[in-house]
Structure 1
Amino acid sequence: MTSRHTAPMVLVTRSGKATHMPGIDLNSDLGEGYGPWAMGADAAMLDLVTSANVACGGHAGDPDTMRATLALAAARGVSVGAHPGYADPMGFGRRVIPMEPAAIANMVAAQTGALIGVAALAGVRVGYVKPHGALANLAADRRDVAEAIVAAVAAQPGRLAVLAISGTELEQAARAAGIPVFSEIFADRAYLPTGRLVPRSRPDAMIHDPEAAADRLLTFLDSGMMPVVGGPPIALTAHSVCIHGDSPEAVAMARLLRDRLTAQGITLAPFIGG
């Protein structure tokens, strides 16, 4: 099955200029339950987002949860990507597990392949890979880790894309390898002046107020500049906006973001076409 990669219709450039066209993508990390234990309100989130990053058995997820999440996404026309992370369910993939780059490539390939296999059974196409948690944060700064992830993605069938945190080594590594790459910003996470996310160990890491998150996002889309903690705003590129599905306010935030964006004439559209 061939895939078609389509840039979103709103692109905020590093020059600080925002090109406004009819739409942008909203994504969420979903399928993060395990067995009988559910995490987040996946069905409700899938009514609101346009792309779903599905856990594939590392930090969370199992074959039955994958299949159920894929079915929910397919029924709503939501694009699907693999969300591999450290095989650390107790830490929810938010702790760095020391691994050589080759082992990281193997891990990402195995988890992505698992989701692709379940998706084939469900008749769903996986279009991209977005690393999870600590793995994504490490790949933001370490080129060897970023290249390991890119190698794993490049080896998969169907020419998958990479969804990367904006302004990171993972973006650059994917681009250098000729892999389609799209840039992500976070609606519910605070930023440091370096462009990295405020660590979750800090009380100011998360934005819990949906109105505050929506105000910040619209300001960013107008200016191309992201407010940060402890410094002036910084320029980032945005193809997709993430709302974490495991936070208590996720559904309310996603609903408000949809409402506020559409009120501005911005249509929500996935960055990966079918």
Structure 2
Amino acid sequence: RTFDSIIARYATSGAARDAILANRIYRNLSGALAGVADYMAMEKLLELAANPDTDLIVLDTPPATEAIDFLDAPRRLLELLNSRAISLLGAPAGIFKSQLRIVDMAARAVLAAFDRVTGLHLLGDVQSFVRSFDGMYEGFSARAARAQDKLRASDTAIVIVTTAESSRIAQAREFVMALEGAGLRVSAMVVNRVLAELPDASELASAHIAPSLKKKLKRNLADYAALKTREEVSLSALRESIPGDAVLMVAPDLGREPRTIADLAEIGRSIRAA
């Protein structure tokens, strides 16, 4: 429905709009083309941002790898619509041959032959679909530019949430570099499920408990200390990788899975600077 509304907004006429919406290529494209869901999410972001009743938008993206695809969706869709292949398919049948390369003419010949053999008229459908977008590229481009500007605006904060596991830390560092490469500024990083501070070992030494239990507790404390040391190494690596003006924060492990609003509120109250 979001894609349909964009077509209706930028179509040069009612007839052009109806031709696109009824085209079988469009119907498959709008539902199945990789990246369309990401682009539609961006459209919803712009729609919400333009609503005067909106005070704050919290956009929860997919994990790191998919998030880059999501943030890059407007550019990728425009690249597809402006690709040489699309231009070739949309070229009218009577175009001067000097304007097409040999490989282009060969490709058109193969597709035309395929149409004749199968009777599917695929080339004609694709050409009709591509040509129906004439006059709409400017609208798509303007929306894509607005989406990119919104992500880079001074009142937009990008917050990365991760855990202190070494694999996750490495992924978070790569994500920060990828965002910087895309011109996106990271404002903060939150490390979730951080271990509690180590207890005082002297209390264990003076505890009046069975020697066998005290031995087990000392071993447990040593294991916990090793985990805490590994976590501190990971946090140090993160400090070195995030931008200088970004804030590094930690949220302690609840000791249980958060299942209620009260659990989330407890996490929120416990977040602190690392």
Give the alignment's TM-score, normalised by structure 1: 0.34
Q: Which has the larger radius of gyration?
A: 2
More helix by share: 2
Where relative contact order (Cα < 8 A, 6+ residues apart) is larger, the structure is 1
More strand by share: 1
